[in-house]
Structure 1
Amino acid sequence: MTDPTLPRPFRLDGRVALVTGAGRGLGLEMAKALASAGASVIVNGRDAGRLEEAAEAIRAATGRQAGTAPFDVADLDAAREALAAIVRDHGRLDILVNNVGVRDRRPLSDFSAEEAATLIATNLVAPTMLAREAAALMAAQGHGRLIFVTSIAGHVALPRDPVYTAAKAGLTGLMRALAIDYARAGVTSNAIAPGMFATQTNERLVADADFSAFVDVRVPLGRWGRPQEIGPAAVFLASDEASFVNGHVLVVDGGQTVRM
């Protein structure tokens, strides 16, 4: 019989989490899951109105309050101000889910140097700097979880998608480096690599019969991922049960990357 006095596993009560790019899609689903596990969640994005809707969706789904932090992750000064506000209001920051990313599927020959630099800045440089600021706060309190949302594109490549693939591979490398640099301060660093999920961003592809046929062949489970299936991965990596998991990429892709 389970001892009711023992803490339940995978609980995040008393923890404070910031999830970037959480206005919708996978970011919102991870924020909901963290809140359901007991964390005080702050959702980030550039659209304040959408963030309020996301916070309300979290409240409706979990019965817990959720805060908003509207800022552009590429604006380092704004990011610093937001992190300072979180610590001022909540006393700490325990979890950063670095989820913001943009996709631009084009051959390398179609990119100008400026366009490539912009994509890499958003997908790699911005989360690097945000992780630096968050890790300093976490190290000072002796506990933290850095969670990077990369992509299976950081491990395998599709044709005509080189700049995004390079940025996501770089983010995986960053995660592993931080797993070494901050471990002795009580801060772990891990990543989630989603595969093909039926998010709003992918609505056109989900509706495309030919592409869905490709998904059926390439994904051993034979379907798109459901957005809510990403949340438990974030909860696990943020929890005390993952205290010895460091420098790991948790692939959530229905087996796509292991199929020949």
Structure 2
Amino acid sequence: MNRLDEQCIVVTGGASGIGEATARAIIKEGGKVLIADLQEQEGQALAEELGANAVFQQTDVTSEEAIITALERANTELGPLTGVVNNAGIVGAVGSIAETSVEAFDRTMSILARAVFLGVKHATRIMKPHGKGSIVSLASTAGIVGGLGPHTYTMAKHGVVGLTKSAASELSSYGLRINAVAPGGTVTPLTAALAGNDTGIITQAIADTSPLGFACMPEDIADSIIFLLSDEARYITGQTLAIDAGITTSGLHTTFHNDDAEVILHANQRAKE
């Protein structure tokens, strides 16, 4: 048996990066997936590639109505809904705390924190009557310690960790499990953009700062998400799993200076030499 046989899962930000890897893994493990993303062309193409058990729903995660539509469509068309992966994200506001605009702060929080709240809220409403379900939200190593992300990003990701604990404490008696994963530096389109969309540079930069000596790929994060969605994790709730080669436990190997990671700047400089 596959680990996700007959499960129906919504993945926000599912058209690329960690979300795409997760959507692919869900299908591989026998599940059904609704890919919720703003990127219509990429999301539709991925759903068509994955086959009959995958659908795409264009979704703006800052809109409560859009999240409701995606979750309810999955529940009706592919369901019953058994899982949600709150993955959609951006880097968001960067720069000194004294120079961060309220507008940039609000936009960042709406995608990284408010959207997770909405995903948990409405997934709970739909899955609670079923008496079983699993929600996995994307936190970050920046949600565990300071100095690994821009200020607003760090604040939002700490909020994801907090909501995971709080919601789990309420919902466990209804058979719902709420967990989070906290990736360290991972090779995705989002991080590659920090290096001028040069995947080679970002891959080497992440590998250079990894205690394990190699770069984390989206599939590495997806594997942990699949575990938390599956019955293999049936006794796990309220937890945040750091997937960071031990950076948050063995000491910080780099510092994020709210514009670009120091290591990426160094990698860019090496590339020019």
State the TM-score bracket (shorter-chain normalisation): 0.7 to 0.9
| Superposed displacement of residue 160, structure 1 | 7.0
Distance apart, 1:215 and its partner CA? 4.8
Q: CA RMSD in A?
A: 2.0
Match of 1:5 in 2: none
Per-residue deviation, 1:79: 1.7
Deviations 1:120-171 (A, max 9, x none): 1211012101210111111111010010011111012337711110000001
Runs of 5+ consecutive residues of structure 1 not aligned to the other structure: 1-7
Q: 1:256 aligns with which of 236, 242, 247?
A: 247
Give the structure 1 partner of residue 103 of structure 2.
Answer: 114
Tell me, yes or no, if the aligned pair for 2:164 and 2:179 is still in contact at 8 Å: yes
- Matching of residue 32 in structure 1 with residue 24 in structure 2: yes
Are 1:224 and 2:212 matched, yes or no?
no
- CA shift, 1:86, in A, is 1.8
User: What corresponds to 1:130 in structure 2?
Assistant: 119
Find 2:5's aligned residue among 4, 13, 23: 13
Residue aligning to 2:264:
none
* Superposition TM-score, scaled by structure 2 size: 0.84
Q: How far apart are residue 25 of structure 1 and its match?
A: 0.4
Shift >3 Å, 4+ stretches: 56-59, 204-209, 211-215
Distance 2:177 2:122 in 1: 15
Q: What are the within-5 Å matches in structure 2 for residues 1-260 of structure 1?
A: 8=1, 11-59=3-51, 65-104=53-92, 105-158=94-147, 161-203=150-192, 204-205=194-195, 207-208=200-201, 212=204, 215-216=207-208, 218-260=209-251
Range that drifts further, 196-205 or 46-55: 196-205
Structure 2 residue matching 1:230: 3-state secondary structure: helix
Change (3 A) 1:259 1:66: same
Distance 2:123 2:84 in 1: 7
Partner of 2:270: none
Contact 1:34-1:234 at 8 Å conserved across structures: no
Deviations 1:14-34 (A, max 9, x none): 110000001110110011111
Moved more, 92-101 or 107-116: 107-116
> Any gaps of 5 or more consecutive residues in structure 2?
252-273
Per the alignment, residue 3 of structure 1 pairs with none
Percent of residue pairs identical: 28
* TM-score normalised by the chain length of structure 1: 0.88
